[in-house]
Amino acid sequence: MTAAVNDEVWQEFSIALASFVARLPAWSNLVFEAEGNRFVAFLMSDRVLACEVVCNRYLEPDYRMTPDDEVRMRLDGWGDPERGHNWIRFLAWPAPRAAYRDLTDRVVTALRDVLGVEQPDRLTLKGWPANPDNAPDATKLGVKVVPPMS
């Protein structure tokens, strides 16, 4: 796959992810995982969406971030991991569509450029929606979905 095509695939993923996350019911938890314990988690309360990117403490050695990667995470607005926590961002909920898109663009940068996930279809979605009957449709994300999300 060429870099341009891969960028297009990631852009489509970001758009689909923004729509998906915007429709999450309160008290839902989602984790997108790739080999090496590379993951991004979305934790929705009734007022705030928290998004975490795994930090080096939990990554397998071959996938750890370099100091330059960590600088990139900070410059992209991620809060530093502290006391065993991961890189984190918060979004007041509900939020404007553009805010979800900004967040998912930053998630794509973290997954693709920092954590080295080749393309979205390498991700597995594990989810715990508060109400599985009211969970948004994950099929447009192009990732493997593990129950109970499906």
User: What per-residue confidence (pLDDT) applies to 86?
Assistant: 97
Distances (CA, A) of 64 to 56, 69, 90, 121: 5, 9, 23, 21
User: What per-residue confidence (pLDDT) applies to 95?
Assistant: 94
Q: How far apart are CA 52 and CA 83, in angstroms?
A: 14
User: What per-residue confidence (pLDDT) applies to 5?
Assistant: 55
Q: What digits encode the pLDDT tens for the residues 13-65?
A: 999 999 999 998 889 999 999 999 999 999 999 999 999 999 999 999 999 99
Taking the model in full, what pTM does it have? 0.92
pLDDT band at 147 (very low <50, low <70, confident <90, very high): confident
Taking residues 8-14, report their average pLDDT. Answer: 96
